[in-house]
Amino acid sequence: MAQKEDFEIIIIAGVAKNNVIGNKNQLPWHLKEDLQHFKELTFGNPVIMGRATYLSILEYLGKPLPGRTNIVLTKESDNKPGFIFVDSIPKALETAKKHGEKVYIIGGQSIYQQLMPLADKLEITHIHRGFEGDTFFPEIKADDWLEIKTQDCKGEQFEFSFSTYEKRPSAIKPNKKGMFITFEGIDGSGKSTQIRKLVEHIFNKSKYHNIILTRNPYKNVNIREILHQDQDPYSQAEKLADLYITDRINQTKEIITPNIEKGHFVISDRYKISTIVYQATQGLDMQSLVNKQSILPKPDMTFIVDISAEEAQRRMQNESIEVRGKEHKFEANLEFIKKLRENTHKVKEVLHDEKIFIIDGARSRDEITKEICEIFDKEMENLN
């Protein structure tokens, strides 16, 4: 299910005057008004919790929070009925999106710290006294959060306030560093479909993600004329390599580098690996083709969608000319495609310092998409 644009991440917590939120895995206070407030806000919505909070709920209730989808973010799964166990923040949020238009983050300390930068809103019960404790709520910085509503209350034992905060627009920051992703593969591999699927996945992960799509060849129309008019797959190798590399340098200056510096996601349909493997298959030296492109920025990750030469040719022959356009010089020669695939598998050794993922393209589209998105989520976590 695609994330709705108005999907909200809301942190909810009771916080003492000294920022304490818990002591020995228990609330340091009992405030019935706060418990009722918590239930009214979260009921009917998914909630995300860490392992300590999950264990305290089990100890207190002996079951999941009723009327809510209970998502536990932990590396250890207990398979308790009524709880959904996930091992990463992207998986937790993706699960929550399937069950509502908003998700409440309910603790504990580590979960609050990790999700505070992603949150859209805070629902805080401020307890107007300090308590002894061993877990604490992150600082609510005035530069990042605007208190839009508050209600002062008086309980039986102490005073408290219900406060709602919204993230200030100035606190919404793009990725510290943009991400550059490339897709490669034999024509007919299905990489274009997977590019669209990954774009949708990235877009749905956050309303603040900006994605720039580009492709090779970039602007040089002479390249396409050669590909469509010349029927010999082995001719004009040097000319094609030079045209592609020059065109790619311009693409880098005009599209790739500026948008990475702005914190955007840049996805390119083909990049330097295509020149390395295609022109190497035409007869040029593979290492020389690598060296000629050494000035280009390295992608953060490259996905090579891999299928057999026979399957690639079959798929291309089954596509109508209205969909595909005129067949170019490399597509009709099966032996050329076989050699091209061999060189594609060699490229991981030649570019050993780059993150290249070879994806089995013979499976269903959904299986391929799932693997690519899982790799992307893991690499994104590592980069951030």
Q: Are 65 and 80 in contact (CB under 8 A)?
A: no
- Distance, in Å, from the CA atom of 279 to the CA atom of 191, rounded to the nearest integer, reads 20
Answering whether pTM is above 0.75, one says no
- Distance, in Å, from the CA atom of 2 to the CA atom of 86, rounded to the nearest integer, reads 19
Topology classification of domain 8-171: Dihydrofolate Reductase, subunit A (3.40.430)
| Pairing of β 265-269 and β 179-184 | parallel
Three-class SS of 130-180: CCCCCEECCCCCCCCEEEEEEEEEECCCCEEEEEEEEECHHHCCCCCCCEE
18 contacts: CB under 8 Å, gap ≥ 6: 130, 131, 133
The backbone region for 188, taken as left when phi is positive above 0, alpha when psi lies in -120 to 50, beta otherwise, is: left
Question: Does residue 204 or residue 60 have the better pLDDT?
Answer: 60
- Distance, in Å, from the CA atom of 111 to the CA atom of 90, rounded to the nearest integer, reads 13
4-43 pLDDT, tens digit per residue, is 457 899 999 999 999 999 999 889 999 999 999 999 999 9
Long-range CB contacts (within 8 A, 24+) of 357-360: 357/301, 357/302, 357/303, 357/304, 358/304, 358/306, 359/194, 359/303, 359/304, 359/305, 359/306, 360/306
- Distance, in Å, from the CA atom of 316 to the CA atom of 327, rounded to the nearest integer, reads 9
232-244 pLDDT, tens digit per residue, is 888 889 999 999 9
227 contacts: CB under 8 Å, gap ≥ 6: 328, 329, 330
C-alpha pair distances (Å), 42 with each of 12, 46, 116, 190: 9, 8, 18, 42
- Distance, in Å, from the CA atom of 21 to the CA atom of 125, rounded to the nearest integer, reads 10
20 contacts: CB under 8 Å, gap ≥ 6: 28, 130, 131, 132, 133, 135, 136, 137
61-75 pLDDT, tens digit per residue, is 999 999 999 999 998
The closest of 244, 248, 241 to 285, measured between CA atoms, is 241
CATH number of 179-383, picked from 3.40.190.10, 3.40.50.300, 3.40.50.740, 1.20.210.10: 3.40.50.300
Helix axis angle, 365-383 to 191-205, nearest 10° = 50
pLDDT for res 172: 62
pLDDT for res 6: 72
What are the boundaries of each domain within the chain? 8-171, 179-383
84-143 pLDDT, tens digit per residue, is 999 999 899 999 999 999 999 999 999 999 999 899 999 999 999 999 999 999 999 998
Q: Are 251 and 218 in contact (CB under 8 A)?
A: yes
